[in-house]
Amino acid sequence: MASVSNEEINDIRASADIVAIIGSYIPLTQKGKNFVGVCPFHDDHSPSMSVSPEKQIYKCFACGASGNVFTFVAEYENVSFIEAVRIVASKCGKELSITTYNNNVSQALKEENEIMDLTQKFFLNNLRTKFGKDALEYLKNRGLNEDIIKEFGIGLSLDSNDSLYQLLLKKNYDIKKLLDLGLVNSVNGKTYDMFTRRITFPLWDKDGNIVGFSARVYRDEKDVSKYMNSRESKLFKKGETLYNYHKAKDIAKREKKIIVVEGFMDAIRISSIGIKNVVALQGTAMTTEQVQLLKKLRVKVILCLDNDNAGLIATINNGDELIKNEIETEVIRLSGEKDPDEYILANGGEAFKNNVDKPLSYFEFKMNYLKQNKDLNNVEDLSIYVNDVLKSLTEIDDPILKELTLDKMSKEYNLSIIVLKNKLEQLEPVKIKKEIKSTVIEKQRKDVFMIGSEKILYFMMNGEEYIREYQKKLGFFEDSLYREIANEIVYFYETNKEITVADFITYVNDKNDIRDKVMEIVNDSANDEVTIEAMDEYIDALSRVLVKNEIKRLKKLMKSELDEAKKLEIALQIKELKKEDV
């Protein structure tokens, strides 16, 4: 979990010519003041990537990939950020010193993370000893080659003669902490390794820190469970993680989709055939936290759960939840084998890829599901089916999909289209024109607020004069996320006495709470002309929105105020604000 100081990284970034570095990977051609090339992060057939030597950033106008020299190398070579810094340093003729712990590891849990890292190294080493020969043979017989074993950090926990517990004890780690992390167990005063004689699979959080393990028997063991998983701890909260998310998220953004499976072995198997944008629930039910992780990616979700009744019901439940969260959802239902792991072993990778290329839309899948166990020639069954479909349509925002579905049902079952539409209107929430108008106005205000805020933040990343303009004319964002980014920009400048977009991208790399939003802002604004005049226009527009919001707040306050004197005072405040809102 090593890192380097910000000063050293800034020095390396300043020494690196982004055009030269990216040009060593892909051909670049000068076009005006920028350089263009075929984007390596999607199936690009024309130069979609622009590289700015002035700003030292790149952007693909097709897939949205963007960043600085470090993010390009990390993405292209599929390595960690620190490894990318090392590669860039090497290309610039500099040596990299590793001195501190990565900032994305909470200092409060620093020791727990150290324990997990040491445990992982111990398990990895075990697999390569003479005692790991049988386990290694088992993995290879299961079709897991060396590359996949390394990629997923697969290791081995030996028996009590080669104890993890003894190793950690020698390092003076507290026994209670080891018990809490679920690495050891204690019965009748005897403490022993939790995962004895099992192949180990590390479990990561969304940022790639090891937080637990799953372990599988590989010999004929009587009266033991096939799999054993870490219990929940300070580090590991099963419902808050998706297996392989930290590796899959960037690839998913490029591919515009992510595959969700049940078990981690399904994710490993799918990855072994070259499909890397895959995550596992490690169960069937999708939690609120997992839905939010997927929503954050802003990509299509393809559900590929087990081919059993539990997997079918989970597909419906999880699909409904994804749709409620406005996530485009598709479904793959494999035939024959129980899960993707067994399906690929039995039918090959190409057969699975064919399924990925031909998923069903979630709504089409659900319509087929609703037909199950119904005789649609029977009037009662048909009525139940039609009402279920109409109820499902109320959760869909796409008016074209609604129209096509109603038309199809009308023709297929000889039903009046007018009756179907009337029934759908009855089921849908009543919408009053005034409310619709109010919603539209509110959305417009939010759009102005969002666009204005993000443009101002981007301008601030470009130099001191823009930071000073923000401090003088605005100085504050209502939105907590934008406020945090602004504070970080100001802090970065005051610490380093200068700021560039490229350097700020590096600075936020380990700040998981704001990194993704900063990259979105850079991606949306990378080609904007940066001037004080343009910034002032955004500040003025944003100020008008803030004034309107304050007037709205005061009017609401005045309605609930009983004291006439205070009411008058609020009315005067509103009057003064209205003078500003011209």
Tell me the pLDDT tens digit for each residue of 377-421.
999 999 999 999 998 888 877 788 888 889 988 999 999 999 999
Distance CA 162, CA 185 (A): 16
Handedness of CA 358, 41, 297, 340 (dihedral sign): positive
Do 445 and 576 reside in the same domain of the chain? Answer: yes
Q: Please provide the distance, in angstroms rounded to a whole number, between the alpha carbons at the two ends of the chain.
A: 54
Task: Note the pLDDT of residue 442.
Answer: 42
Do 390 and 354 reside in the same domain of the chain? Answer: no
Distance CA 277, CA 258 (A): 5
pLDDT at 550 exceeding the cut of 90? no
- pLDDT category at 446 given cuts 50, 70, 90 is very low
Task: Note the pLDDT of residue 107.
Answer: 54
* Within-domain flag for 298: yes
Contact 353, 343 (CB under 8 A): no
pTM of the model: 0.62
Task: Note the pLDDT of residue 564.
Answer: 79
Distance CA 542, CA 518 (A): 19
* Cα-based angle 281, 286, 291 (whole degrees, multiple of 5): 100
**Helix intervals (H) in 298-432:** 309-324, 340-347, 349-357, 362-370, 379-393, 399-413, 417-427
Q: Which is more confident, 267 or 45?
A: 267
Distance CA 352, CA 456 (A): 46
Task: Note the pLDDT of residue 437.
Answer: 41
Do 423 and 451 reside in the same domain of the chain? Answer: no
Do 503 and 488 reside in the same domain of the chain? Answer: yes
The mean per-residue pLDDT over the stretch 59-70 comes to 89
Contact 148, 272 (CB under 8 A): yes
Give the CATH number of the domain where residue 294 resides.
3.40.1360.10
- pLDDT category at 543 given cuts 50, 70, 90 is confident
Do 83 and 163 reside in the same domain of the chain? Answer: no
Boundary (domain end) residue, out of 52, 72, 101: 101
Contact 482, 457 (CB under 8 A): yes
Do 34 and 16 reside in the same domain of the chain? Answer: yes
Give the CATH number of the domain where residue 137 resides.
3.90.980.10
Distance CA 65, CA 58 (A): 8
Task: Note the pLDDT of residue 478.
Answer: 80
* Within-domain flag for 76: yes
Task: Note the pLDDT of residue 433.
Answer: 38
Task: Note the pLDDT of residue 429.
Answer: 66
* Within-domain flag for 20: yes
pLDDT at 439 exceeding the cut of 80? no
Task: Note the pLDDT of residue 62.
Answer: 85
* Within-domain flag for 8: yes
pLDDT at 105 exceeding the cut of 50? no
Greatest distance between any 2 Cα atoms in the chain:
86
**Helix intervals (H) in 203-263:** 245-255
The most confident of 73-82, 389-398, 451-460, by mean pLDDT: 451-460
Boundary (domain end) residue, out of 194, 209, 235: 235
Do 164 and 282 reside in the same domain of the chain? Answer: no
Q: Which is more confident, 552 or 393?
A: 393
Do 339 and 405 reside in the same domain of the chain? Answer: no
Structure token digits, residue 278: 């895959």
pLDDT at 16 exceeding the cut of 60? yes
Structural domain containing residue 173 = 107-235
Task: Note the pLDDT of residue 444.
Answer: 45
E-strand ranges in 167-226 read: 184-187, 190-193, 198-204, 210-216
Do 23 and 87 reside in the same domain of the chain? Answer: yes
Task: Note the pLDDT of residue 129.
Answer: 92
Contact 53, 35 (CB under 8 A): yes
Strands 100-101 and 2-3: antiparallel
* Cα-based angle 384, 387, 393 (whole degrees, multiple of 5): 145
Do 97 and 162 reside in the same domain of the chain? Answer: no
Residue 165: which of 118, 208, 209 has the closest Cα? 118
Do 298 and 390 reside in the same domain of the chain? Answer: no
* Within-domain flag for 240: no
pLDDT at 214 exceeding the cut of 80? yes
- pLDDT category at 466 given cuts 50, 70, 90 is very high
Contact 539, 527 (CB under 8 A): no
- SS3 call for 331: strand
Q: What stretch of H or E contains 135?
A: helix 133-141
Structure token digits, residue 388: 């279920």
- pLDDT category at 61 given cuts 50, 70, 90 is confident
| Residues in Cβ contact with 564 at an 8 Å cutoff, skipping those fewer than 6 apart | none
pLDDT at 28 exceeding the cut of 50? yes
Residue 301: which of 281, 326, 327 has the closest Cα? 327
Distance CA 264, CA 200 (A): 12
Distance CA 47, CA 45 (A): 7
- pLDDT category at 511 given cuts 50, 70, 90 is confident
- SS3 call for 379: helix
Do 32 and 86 reside in the same domain of the chain? Answer: yes
The mean per-residue pLDDT over the stretch 242-256 comes to 88
User: In this predicted model, what pLDDT tens digit does every residue of 151-187 receive, in sequence order?
Assistant: 999 999 998 666 899 899 899 999 999 999 999 988 8
Task: Note the pLDDT of residue 581.
Answer: 56
pLDDT at 445 exceeding the cut of 60? no
Mean pLDDT of the chain: 86
Choose the weakest-confidence range: 474-488, 517-531, 557-571: 557-571
Q: Which long-range contacts (CB under 8 A, 24 or more apart) does 490-497 make?
A: 490/460, 493/464, 493/467, 495/6, 496/6, 496/10
Choose the weakest-confidence range: 279-293, 406-420, 425-439, 464-478: 425-439
Give the CATH number of the domain where residue 90 resides.
3.90.580.10
| Residues in Cβ contact with 122 at an 8 Å cutoff, skipping those fewer than 6 apart | 155, 164, 167
Distance CA 246, CA 546 (A): 37
- pLDDT category at 189 given cuts 50, 70, 90 is confident
* Within-domain flag for 410: yes
pLDDT at 353 exceeding the cut of 50? yes
Contact 303, 365 (CB under 8 A): no
pLDDT at 334 exceeding the cut of 70? yes
Distance CA 460, CA 463 (A): 6
- pLDDT category at 485 given cuts 50, 70, 90 is very high
User: In this predicted model, what pLDDT tens digit does every residue of 127-139 receive, in sequence order?
Assistant: 999 999 999 999 9
Alpha carbon dihedral 377, 383, 387, 390, in 10-degree steps, equals 50
Distance CA 577, CA 568 (A): 14
Count of the separate structural domains present in the chain: 5
Percentage of the chain modeled with pLDDT above 70: 91
